[in-house]
Structure 1
Amino acid sequence: MEQLDRFIKAQENNYLVALNEIKNGRKQSHWMWYIFPQIKGLGMSETSRYYGIDDEEEAKAYLDNEILGFRLREITSELLKLNIDNPVDIFGTIDAIKLKSSMTLFDYVSDDKIFSQVLNKYYNGEIDEKTILLCEKRKKLVYKK
């Protein structure tokens, strides 16, 4: 899927940086949008719109992509290994919110339990309601065609 190229290109130079930052328990550089993407419509910045996932179909394609799906699961599994329970300590306040949205999105479109495990560990099992609402809204629009 060509539209996923934006993520692959963005990750080329700093996926390993992001992975190492997570392994060390502290995000220090700027990569959140394309490592843990959210559904489009949550963020208002140009960057968040550019890297926003359009709909359920694109989220599934992201997970099914050999590179992107592997990397998302790899970095997510590293999150679960940390002996830190507060996502703000790892990501800061804003990016902890983005992580919750991203994990909600991928949990919504996948049977892979790794995403719900992050929601359980860091957010007491709470999901991001806005993410679900946007997914449902876009699903209805797609099915009306």
Structure 2
Amino acid sequence: RDEQRTTTTLRHAAPTPAPAAAPKPQGKISHVTSRRETAAAAPSACDAFLAAIIKAQDSSHASFAAALREINAGRKSSHWIWYVWPSHKEVRRTSRPEYALPHSSFAVAWLRHPVLGHRLLEITSSACKHLESGLAARTLFGSAVDVDKFAECMAVFLVAAEHQQPPLEESAAICRKALLLLDRPGAHEGAHEVATREMA
């Protein structure tokens, strides 16, 4: 009977509830969210590049203001061309590669920037006035190398301006004028080809 009672008791006993599942750790999800938020908050490569250009142009040594004074006076005499009329990294190696355009799309952002775009047009317009007056390009830019750098820069910015919808007409017109005044097609053909390929 004792065995029968025990068996009956076991048959009618309420089933033991299964242990509650342990909560899933949230640390990994929080970590992913944090990384996404950080990525969203971080400046883009283009923003960081333009910020570095602004910082260089506003430096106390060889600033944009100094560059503009030199060009207005008719002769480049100090070292600032890397961050005023930049080279393209696929076209020319320079001693300051951190200021070279990584891609032609960066030239578009430069032209659209409220400070850098205005400065580029201002100093290029000044250079064009001297070239129109008959001043030799080598005298204006200080060396044959910098004449070629200027030509390459104008070619990249011209293509960048022309490939916008609608085109950046004022920028394109000044760059086109500068190249015509230089009359050195061989100096910028490579830059034009690279920019055209990248902006296609």
Count residues in correspondence: 139
Counterpart in 2 of 1:90? 140
Q: Give me the whole-angstrom Cα distance separating, in 2, the residues matched to 1:6 and 1:15.
A: 13
Q: Secondary structure at the match of 1:40?
A: coil
Q: Give me the whole-angstrom Cα distance separating, in 1, the residues matched to 2:186 and 2:95.
A: 28
Counterpart in 1 of 2:76? 27
Does structure 1 conserve the Cα–Cα contact (< 8 Å) formed by 2:87 and 2:153?
yes
Shift of residue 42, structure 1, vs aligned partner: 2.5
Counterpart in 1 of 2:109? 61
Q: Which has the higher helix share?
A: 1
Q: Give me the whole-angstrom Cα distance separating, in 2, the residues matched to 1:122 and 1:136.
A: 20
Q: Which moved more, 1:11-20 or 1:49-58?
A: 49-58
Q: Secondary structure at the match of 1:21?
A: helix
Where do 5+ consecutive residues of structure 1 fail to align?
Answer: 141-145
Name the % identity: 29
Q: Give me the whole-angstrom Cα distance separating, in 2, the residues matched to 1:126 and 1:108.
A: 16
Q: Give me the whole-angstrom Cα distance separating, in 1, the residues matched to 2:94 and 2:178.
A: 26
Distance 1:109 1:2, change over 3 A: same
**RMSD value over aligned CA atoms?**
1.9
Question: Of the candidates 164, 169, 180, which is equivalent to residue 120 of structure 1?
Answer: 180
TM-score, normalisation: structure 1: 0.86
Counterpart in 1 of 2:66? 17
TM-score, normalisation: structure 2: 0.64
Counterpart in 2 of 1:102? 153
The CA deviation string for residues 21-63 of structure 1, in whole angstroms up to 9 with x for no partner, is 001110000000100012112332340x211112221110000
Q: State the one-letter code of the partner of 2:188.
A: D
Does structure 1 conserve the Cα–Cα contact (< 8 Å) formed by 2:159 and 2:196?
no
Question: More relative contact order in 1 or in 2 (CA 8 Å, sep 6+)?
Answer: 1
